[in-house]
């Protein structure tokens, strides 16, 4: 069984080393920083922080090497990404209307049966749309896997063999944040759902998002648009039952009970976990609170997450 | 309803109580949508000098009987921001002063003005220092210009965590050094990039020794940018060398320069940011804005006749307290007709740098959206 730790952002108050110390990780830590893209190699601060040997798995660079070697796969990945973008764009158009309706009904006064039923129906409509989108996204991935069988292609298989060896020798895998789609695509390309099985994994920000069953993009106050949280993709699914919300205090309007309640109910029964600075959530078959573990409540506030 | 000042004056105050009233209070006095300017001192007359188009540019204060206190109350709509000075007249002496009771000051190339905020106006948070934002760096280099037959100093902003291996979009800013000094451009870029609201970008800051000529729809400026500055930038920096990753901006005459350069060299730029452009034009007869704008009016008239397709996206902003609001509003249907994606924004502000600063977030994040939705660090 996996032991997985989700942490808050690490830039200003890193807590990774405290987690590694506490859980008894003494050996090498394999690091994934592919979300940093062209800065992937700049792991100096991370290395200094953890006081342990660190091996950078270089997934961003490895993927570039694979694409340079296997043009057919590269083109197929580009085509898949194009399909995914188109699907996301169509979903987003419908989502805007469905979410607006849900927000409007949720702001209505009244606890009578009619208002309650309409509220539930409006949220159900959003959940249905999310589910349909995720089904289509999964289908795009499944068709790609079926057609290209990336794990059997020599360029991928060779990299994957090396990665398996390094990860097998490491005491833990640390996955940093960054660009969540870039990170997730690399993890998927190299089969990390299997490579991380039964490993100790510590992840933060986009790293945490990529390991869940659903990757949710969110920002309540963007400079453009309504700030409609959206399902991007199925994550690796290494852990389930959680929605990872990094930088929640900065990205969410936690003082708006309608937005908070809608977010919590929309993704229920998953735990809407606030991954702010200093927070920690622990998974060992089920989710347990670590330091400063808080979540969104269905009533529209922020509450401490307690193990049930 | 009587104002704070009226209630105070009902008590027939003397010198010491006036001192007490003035200390520890913010001036001008804002009460709802009304603002009261106050001046204290010996004078024959006191006037408010402001740049709100639509109101008389000089508004007389009224002396409070038996005191050296002067007052003027005006309506000020929500979210307004007004720059002003106080004209003090005594005998033959006539002086324009900063408001001695008001610490809020805005600077521009001509000096400084006092500033009055209407209800609801707040300096945007992304303008203020943010200790979490990584600072970009500034460089300077020189372009030897055959077009202008001289040397041009170009300021360059490089974003935080700049890497030569990466490719960046380019923003070219007319009056770039004034944008740095008076519109906090460097800090705004640092903050918007840190917030992921715009992508890390390289910014070229140009300055003209004769802007009324060169920025006044002078074809040499279009040539200088397209044939000299952009190639020089491409040679020095890792830029995405495509029109959609290249933007041009400016305010006032700088906006004229930006639009005319994009019009004369279509296909070079992907986005334009035009702030309070001096887009003088005439449907018949004279444009009425003086001879300096004759070349501008010739250009705008030609543009209105045949706008072509200068770029794909254009953001236009103007203050409703500037006389140029007429010209800018008139430009909107022309730009819409040119099959460009257009965003047009008005603000209750005047022809000044802080108005232009306050629009930068909306404008730049629309022209060049950052990776906000995708990056979680």
Task: Give per-residue pLDDT as tens, A24-80.
Answer: 999 999 999 999 999 999 999 999 999 999 999 999 999 999 999 999 999 999 999
Q: Which distant-in-sequence residues (6+ apart) come within 8 Å of B135 by Cβ?
A: B160, B190
Q: Which distant-in-sequence residues (6+ apart) come within 8 Å of B203 by Cβ?
A: B156, B157, B170, B171, B172, B173, B176, B185, B189
- % of chain A surpassing 90 pLDDT: 95
- Hey, which bits of chain A come out as E strands? 3-7, 29-32, 54-56, 172-175, 178-179, 200-204, 214-217, 230-234, 242-246, 271-275, 280-283, 287-289, 294-296, 302-304
pLDDT of residue A2: 81
pLDDT of residue A132: 98
The per-residue pLDDT for range A65-122, each reduced to its tens digit, is 999 999 999 999 999 999 999 999 999 999 999 999 999 999 987 778 888 899 999 9
pLDDT of B210 over the 90 cut:
yes
Contact B114, B196 (CB under 8 A): no
Contact A307, A285 (CB under 8 A): no
Mean of pLDDT over chain B:
95
CA atoms of B114 and B97, how far apart (whole Å)? 9
CA atoms of A300 and A225, how far apart (whole Å)? 22
CA atoms of A180 and A205, how far apart (whole Å)? 9
| E strand or H helix at A211 | helix A206-211
CA atoms of B326 and B239, how far apart (whole Å)? 37
3-state secondary structure of A5: strand
Q: Which distant-in-sequence residues (6+ apart) come within 8 Å of A112 by Cβ?
A: none
Record: contact B377-A180, CB cut-off 8 A: no
CA A209 to chain B, closest CA, distance in angstroms equals 9
pLDDT of residue B180: 98
Contact A58, A159 (CB under 8 A): no
CA atoms of B328 and B305, how far apart (whole Å)? 16
Helices (H), chain B: 4-9, 15-22, 176-182, 185-194, 211-214, 219-223, 230-236, 253-264, 294-305, 325-337, 353-358, 360-367
The per-residue pLDDT for range A128-183, each reduced to its tens digit, is 999 999 999 999 999 999 999 999 999 999 999 999 999 999 999 999 999 999 99
Record: contact B373-A217, CB cut-off 8 A: yes
Domain ranges of chain B: 4-117, 125-367
The Cα-based distances of B350 to A35, A261, B83, B181 in angstroms read 43, 41, 8, 18
- % of chain B surpassing 70 pLDDT: 98
Q: Which distant-in-sequence residues (6+ apart) come within 8 Å of A48 by Cβ?
A: none
CA B361 to chain A, closest CA, distance in angstroms equals 7
CA atoms of B361 and B372, how far apart (whole Å)? 13
Give me the phi and psi of B30, to 5 degrees please.
-100, 120
Find residue B202's DSSP bridge partners.
B170
pLDDT of residue B11: 79
The per-residue pLDDT for range A235-260, each reduced to its tens digit, is 999 999 999 999 999 999 999 999 99
pLDDT of residue B89: 97
pLDDT of B227 over the 60 cut:
yes
pLDDT of B14 over the 80 cut:
no
Exposed, middle or buried by CB within 10 Å (0-12, 13-18, 19+), for A19?
Answer: buried
Tell me the mean pLDDT in the region B15-32: 88
- Predicted complex ipTM exceeds 0.90: yes
Contact A7, A275 (CB under 8 A): yes
Residue identified by tokens 């959940």 is A127
3-state secondary structure of A35: helix
pLDDT of residue B1: 54
The Cα-based distances of B312 to B339, B341, B343 in angstroms read 8, 6, 12
A209 touches chain B (CB under 8 A): yes
B134 touches chain A (CB under 8 A): no
Contact B307, B283 (CB under 8 A): no
Nearest CA in chain B to A176: B377
B164 touches chain A (CB under 8 A): no
Helices (H), A107-189: 113-148, 154-169, 180-189
Contact A299, A307 (CB under 8 A): no
pLDDT of B56 over the 90 cut:
no
Nearest to B101 by CA among B4, B21, B217: B21
pLDDT of B16 over the 80 cut:
no
Residue A274: how many CA atoms within 13 Å on its side-chain side?
Answer: 25
Which DSSP symbol is given to B14? -
Which DSSP symbol is given to B226? I
Mean of pLDDT over chain A:
96
CA A261 to chain B, closest CA, distance in angstroms equals 21
The CATH number given to B125-367 is 3.40.50.1820
pLDDT of A308 over the 90 cut:
no
Binned at pLDDT 50, 70 and 90, residue B2 comes out as low
Q: How many CB atoms lie within 10 A of CB B192?
A: 22
Record: contact A179-B165, CB cut-off 8 A: no
Contact B152, B142 (CB under 8 A): yes
pLDDT of residue B284: 80
User: Which fold is adopted by the domain B4-117?
Assistant: Immunoglobulin-like (2.60.40)
The per-residue pLDDT for range B238-252, each reduced to its tens digit, is 999 999 999 999 999
CA atoms of B133 and B147, how far apart (whole Å)? 39
3-state secondary structure of A306: coil
Considering only CB atoms, which chain A residues are within 8 Å of B132?
12
The per-residue pLDDT for range B145-166, each reduced to its tens digit, is 999 999 999 999 999 999 999 9
**Token output for A100:** 């607006």
Residue B303: how many CA atoms within 13 Å on its side-chain side?
Answer: 32
Record: contact B374-A179, CB cut-off 8 A: yes
| E strand or H helix at B320 | none
Exposed, middle or buried by CB within 10 Å (0-12, 13-18, 19+), for B160?
Answer: middle
Instruction: Give the lowest-confidence range in A107-116, A180-189, B77-86.
Output: A107-116
Q: Which distant-in-sequence residues (6+ apart) come within 8 Å of B157 by Cβ?
A: B136, B137, B138, B185, B186, B189, B202, B203, B205
pLDDT of B104 over the 60 cut:
yes
User: Which fold is adopted by the domain A3-66+156-304?
Assistant: Rossmann fold (3.40.50)
CA A118 to chain B, closest CA, distance in angstroms equals 30
Selecting from B161, B197, B371 the residue whose C-beta is nearest the C-beta of A223 gives: B197
Tell me the mean pLDDT in the region B192-208: 98
């Amino acid at each position: 069984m996996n032991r997985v730790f989700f942490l808050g952002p690490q830039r200003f108050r890193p807590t990774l080393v405290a987690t590694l110390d506490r859980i008894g990780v003494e050996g090498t830590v394999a690091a994934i920083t592919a979300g940093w893209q062209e800065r992937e190699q700049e792991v100096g601060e991370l290395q200094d922080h953890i006081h342990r040997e660190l091996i950078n798995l270089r997934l961003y660079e490895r993927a570039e090497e694979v694409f340079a070697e296997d043009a057919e796969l590269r083109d197929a990945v580009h085509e898949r990404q194009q399909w995914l973008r188109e699907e996301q764009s169509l979903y987003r158009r419908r989502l805007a209307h469905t979410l607006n309706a849900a927000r409007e009904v949720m702001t209505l006064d009244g606890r009578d049966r009619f208002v309650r039923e309409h509220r539930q129906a409006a949220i159900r409509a959003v959940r249905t749309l999310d589910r349909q989108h995720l089904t289509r996204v999964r289908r795009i991935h499944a068709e790609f896997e079926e057609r290209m069988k990336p794990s059997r292609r020599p360029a991928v298989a060779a990299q994957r063999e090396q990665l398996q060896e390094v990860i097998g020798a490491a005491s833990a895998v640390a996955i940093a944040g960054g660009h969540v789609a870039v990170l997730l695509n690399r993890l998927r390309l190299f089969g990390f759902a299997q490579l991380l099985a039964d490993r100790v994994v510590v992840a933060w920000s986009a790293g945490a998002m990529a390991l869940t069953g659903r990757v949710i993009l969110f920002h309540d106050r963007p400079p453009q648009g309504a700030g409609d949280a959206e399902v991007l993709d199925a994550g690796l699914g290494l852990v389930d039952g959680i929605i990872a919300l990094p930088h929640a205090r900065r990205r969410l309007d936690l003082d708006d009970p309608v937005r908070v309640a809608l977010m919590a109910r929309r993704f229920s029964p998953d735990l809407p976990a606030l991954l702010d600075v200093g927070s920690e959530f622990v998974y060992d078959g089920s989710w347990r609170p670590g330091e400063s573990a808080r979540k969104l409540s269905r009533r529209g506030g922020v509450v401490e997450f307690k193990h049930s | 309803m009587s104002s704070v000042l009226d209630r105070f004056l009902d008590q027939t105050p003397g010198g010491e109580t006036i001192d007490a009233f003035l200390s520890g209070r913010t001036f001008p006095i804002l009460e709802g949508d009304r603002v009261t300017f106050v001046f204290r001192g010996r004078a024959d007359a006191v006037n408010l000098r402001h740049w709100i188009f639509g109101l008389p540019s000089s508004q007389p204060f009224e002396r409070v009987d038996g005191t050296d206190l002067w007052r003027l109350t005006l309506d000020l709509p929500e979210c307004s921001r007004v720059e002003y000075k106080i004209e003090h007249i005594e005998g033959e002496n006539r002086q324009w002063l900063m408001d001695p009771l008001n610490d809020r000051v805005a600077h521009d190339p001509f000096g400084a003005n006092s500033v009055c905020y209407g209800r609801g106006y707040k300096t945007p948070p992304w303008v203020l220092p943010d200790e979490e934002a990584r600072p970009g760096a500034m460089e300077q280099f020189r372009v030897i210009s055959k077009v202008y037959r001289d040397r041009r100093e170009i300021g360059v902003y490089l974003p935080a965590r700049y890497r030569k291996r990466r490719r960046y979009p380019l923003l070219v800013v007319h009056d770039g050094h004034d944008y740095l000094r008076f519109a906090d451009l460097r800090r705004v870029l640092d903050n918007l990039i840190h917030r992921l609201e715009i992508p890390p970008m390289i910014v070229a800051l140009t300055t003209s020794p004769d802007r009324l000529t060169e920025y006044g729809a002078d074809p040499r400026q279009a040539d200088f940018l397209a044939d000299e500055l952009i190639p020089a930038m491409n040679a020095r920096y890792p830029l995405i060398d495509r029109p959609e990753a290249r933007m041009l901006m400016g305010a006032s005459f700088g906006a004229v320069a930006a639009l005319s350069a994009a019009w004369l060299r279509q296909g070079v730029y992907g986005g334009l940011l035009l702030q309070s452009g001096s887009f003088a034009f005439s449907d018949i007869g004279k444009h009425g804005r003086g001879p300096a704008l004759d070349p501008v009016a010739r250009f705008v008239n030609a543009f209105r006749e045949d706008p072509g397709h200068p770029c794909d996206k254009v953001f236009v902003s103007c203050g409703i307290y500037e006389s140029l609001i007429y010209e800018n509003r008139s430009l909107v249907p022309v730009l819409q007709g040119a099959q460009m994606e257009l965003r047009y924004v008005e603000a209750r502000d005047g022809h000044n740098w802080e108005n232009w600063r306050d629009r930068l977030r909306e404008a730049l994040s629309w022209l060049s959206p950052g990776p906000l939705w995708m990056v979680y660090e």
